Structure 1
Amino acid sequence: MKNNIQNTTNTIFEQIKEIDENGNEFWGARKLSKILEYSEFRHFLPVIERAKEACNNSDQPVSDHFEDYLEQINFGKGAKKEMESVKLSRFACYLIVQNADPSKEVVAQGQTYFAIQTRLQEIQQMDDYNRLSTEEEKRLFLRNELKKHNLQLAEAAKDAGVIQPVDYAIFQNHGYMGLYGGLGAKEIHARKGLKKSQQILDHMGSTELAANLFRATQTEDKLKRDKIKGKTNANKTHFEVGKKVRQTIKDLGGTMPENLPVEESIKNIEKAESKKISTPKKKKE
């Protein structure tokens, strides 16, 4: 997929990723601590412990994501030394950046990067997703995922104080404005030449749907995690998450969502798929 936001080769977090003897990716805690601007590794250890606790609270085996090992560290003039460290999975890194110092810009970048990549990994590991081969199938899958997570986002927004339908429309618009560089739903419609009756989500390709799925899932998580209260704060959170996802797309060299092509209505694809299921196959004579 051209201009796919899964292209992560240029990120600082991808550059320090390693592959073990079994072909599994991991990050060394000491290298990650330097990227996250911790002056000494001992200051980073409490963050790892909080991440382990979060892992346990997520019903994930800590040992699957955090493993003590000797990490090779490069010093000046080619000198190398093995030092006690922790081998971290992608999920472990996600939990770490959620528990690191949020005032650091690089931590905020890490939160977006690992949130997106962790969600991508979850999708890629789904058997149903792995069987998909066409763009139409991927669109249907991601559109259904987005429908499900938009319901969950609506519940999280309601808990934050976004109650009335008009307030929720404003809340959703803030998410679009963050992701689409200031464009709200009306402006996106105009930019893409869509009619008022046409839903934006129904005319997105898989790349654009994926970006909006990340926006929705991460906003839901942040509203819950940070216990956001009040319509203004909820709107601000949705805007900021959308903006971070946009920045990540930019950092990875992807196409901005407002510049992605308008696709055939997904309803037509749904109808075609429905016909395939309902039409009995002819018996061979």
Structure 2
Amino acid sequence: MSNIEEYGEQTFENIKNVNEYGEDFWYARDLQEILHYKRFDKFLNVISKAKEACSNSQQNPEDHFSQVGRMVQIGSGAMREIDDMMLSRYACYLIVQNADPQKEVVALGQTYFAVQTRKQELQDEFDHLDEDRKRLAIRNELKEHNKSLQEAAKLAGVETNFDYATFQNHGYRGLYGELDAKAIHARKGLKKSHKILDHMGSTELAANLFRATQTDEKLRRENVQGKQLANQIHYEVGSKVRKTIEELGGTMPENLPTPEKSIKQIEREHQKKLTDK
């Protein structure tokens, strides 16, 4: 990620707020300043275009643009109320799409809010999936991230198949309280040919996905060299994920139930439904 991309994301994250329902929102005057509009009345013209685009998208602008009074500190240290607006993520997305494209920060805002809006859409879609579809979705994502993790490990010096198996076991031991792949396999009562990840529920898969992505990023970010250090980092990341689960009062991954159906069975059933249509 380039410096300018980091600047853009940090900038829009820094002015983000969260309401009492846990929903993200931004104040219009904060966004005006970030997008380098000197006058609020000029920025209101951009907001007006964004509202029109909102209506044209069959959305109710009142759900995304809320007029509010806001207390701010003035030069003397006293407080006074000013007119402002609370903007949803989607409202911000429409605003940056209608803002001055010549401004570099506007382009950054377009990227930021497009990505964040899509993330929320995917999360909403995911929340409506049943357990089988959640397992499929996370398992497929984990497959892709494991490829990236393997590449990062190789760059760190984890080269042979034996080295990589050892590396993976360090991650499992950290996350599963010292249980390695063989012990997890046995605990789940799996056959030798079964893949552990194909016999996990969505919660257990999500914990392993987090372990994999965070290890991948740390290996690359710190340019880790040496397989022993890579193994240590994988173990530490797994342990931290386990610690987080414990602090949240969650069930340890080794104590989560093993689903009756494997991922392979679910895939076959879904494929059959498609061919029967």
Same fold (TM over 0.5): yes
Higher-Rg member (1/2)? 2
Whether 1:253 aligns to 2:253 is no
Match of 1:180 among 153, 176, 180: 176
CA distance in 2, matches of 1:123, 1:232: 35
The 5 Å alignment of 1:31-42 reads none
CA distance in 2, matches of 1:244, 1:265: 28
Where does residue 143 of structure 2 map in the other structure?
A: 147
Whether 1:171 aligns to 2:171 is no
Where does residue 204 of structure 1 map in the other structure?
A: 200
CA distance in 2, matches of 1:245, 1:233: 18
Where does residue 98 of structure 2 map in the other structure?
A: none
Match of 2:266 among 263, 266, 269: 269
CA distance in 1, matches of 2:120, 2:174: 26
State the one-letter code of the partner of 1:241.
V
Cα deviation for residue 132 of structure 1 reads 3.7
State the one-letter code of the partner of 2:150.
A
Where does residue 132 of structure 2 map in the other structure?
A: 136
- Aligned to 1:197, the other structure's residue is in SS state coil
Whether 1:63 aligns to 2:59 is no
CA distance in 2, matches of 1:206, 1:144: 12
Whether 1:160 aligns to 2:108 is no
Q: Name the TM-score, length of structure 2 as normaliser.
A: 0.60
Cα deviation for residue 165 of structure 1 reads 0.9
- Aligned to 1:174, the other structure's residue is in SS state helix
- Provide closer, same or farther for how the CA distance between residues 183 and 223 of structure 1 changes in structure 2, counting only shifts above 3 A: same
CA distance in 2, matches of 1:179, 1:194: 19
State the one-letter code of the partner of 1:63.
T
Cα deviation for residue 128 of structure 1 reads 7.8
The 5 Å alignment of 1:206-245 reads 206-245=202-241
| Post-superposition CA distance 1:134-192 (Å, at most 9, x none) | 00010000000000100000010011111111100110110000000000001111112
Q: Is the 8 A contact 2:126 2:134 kept in 1?
A: no
Match of 1:126 among 122, 125, 146: 122
Cα deviation for residue 122 of structure 1 reads 8.3
Q: How many equivalent pairs are there?
A: 182
Say which structure, 1 or 2, has more relative contact order (CA 8 Å, 6+ apart).
Answer: 1
Q: Is the 8 A contact 2:170 2:180 kept in 1?
A: yes
Q: Unaligned regions of 5+ residues in structure 2, if any?
A: 17-29, 31-69, 73-77, 80-116
Q: Unaligned regions of 5+ residues in structure 1, if any?
A: 1-52, 73-80, 83-120, 281-285
Where does residue 87 of structure 1 map in the other structure?
A: none
CA distance in 1, matches of 2:193, 2:130: 27
Cα deviation for residue 131 of structure 1 reads 6.4
- Aligned to 1:229, the other structure's residue is in SS state coil
CA distance in 1, matches of 2:190, 2:118: 32
Q: Is the 8 A contact 2:170 2:231 kept in 1?
A: yes
- Provide closer, same or farther for how the CA distance between residues 127 and 206 of structure 1 changes in structure 2, counting only shifts above 3 A: closer
- Aligned to 1:193, the other structure's residue is in SS state coil
Cα deviation for residue 198 of structure 1 reads 1.0
Q: Is the 8 A contact 1:129 1:141 kept in 2?
A: no
